[in-house]
Amino acid sequence: MIPTIQEEDVINSLGERQQQLLNLLLENKSGMTMDELARALGVSKPAVHQHLTTLERDGYVARHALVKTGGRPSQIYVLSDRGVHLFPKHYAWFSELLLQQLLERMGSEAVEKLLYQLGREAAVPLRERLRDKEGTEKIREVVRIMRDFGYQAQVVEGKERLPEISAKNCIYHDLAKAHREVCALDLGLLDGLLEGTVAQRSCMVRGDGDCRFCLRKRPEGSTGA
């Protein structure tokens, strides 16, 4: 997952006809031909072709199959997975519902430990990117990984002139604001990547200007939470 622009911003930036075209393909999961799209939109085939070319280039529409329509075979166009993601989702609602159930069944401390462990496990396939990197170079690569996930993160100078990680946004801000246990996921991810003890010095949901993580060498023999 490498978020760059929010889906709602993308869909709002598209022209009215392109949005209508995408809605038609969303409603017709098996796909539509250029002729069918032109008739449904009330525009010419060249106009539809132009819109399809742009949407296909950007990865929102894909060619599916050729069908016989009595004359020459016609191309079927479908909404791609990326195109589906342009439309509103309710991940936040689902996450809130799931987390609330976990808290009621397991309790705050157990959920916090679970989220920390999930963060550490999520770090495992990403460690390859840190191979042969040490010190500040390693921390900078961790920051790049965080940016891939949507964090506006950077390396900053902390106490005793040691490097720290500053994140100016939280990718699940509302969820973390309601349930502080969620912060353990960040700690687990960073601890798993840097294989050391990560402490959170500041937190935006507590009113701080950023989420700041300072890094300390793990005590010898410690296995973490």
SS3 (DSSP) at 181? helix
90 falls within a domain: no
Structure tokens given for 202: 């500041």
Tell me how many helices (H) and strands (E) the chain has: 10, 7
221 falls within a domain: no
* CA 215 – CA 194 distance, rounded (Å): 8
Question: Which residue range forms the structural domain that includes residue 80?
Answer: 7-84
* CA 40 – CA 59 distance, rounded (Å): 22
Structure tokens given for 203: 């937190």
Q: How many domains does the chain have?
A: 2
Residues 146 and 153: beta-carbon distance below 8 Å: yes
CATH no. for residue 123? 3.30.1380.20
1 falls within a domain: no
Residues 75 and 66: beta-carbon distance below 8 Å: yes
Mean pLDDT, each 10-residue run in order, the chain (225 residues): 49 82 93 95 95 94 82 88 83 90 96 96 95 91 94 88 89 89 94 87 88 72 44
The predicted pLDDT at position 160 comes to 74
CA atoms within 13 A on the CB side of 37: 30
Q: Facing residues of 197 across strands?
A: 216
CATH no. for residue 63? 1.10.10.10
The predicted pLDDT at position 25 comes to 95
Residues 164 and 155: beta-carbon distance below 8 Å: yes
The predicted pLDDT at position 91 comes to 80
The predicted pLDDT at position 10 comes to 64
Are 128 and 58 in a shared domain? Answer: no
The predicted pLDDT at position 157 comes to 86
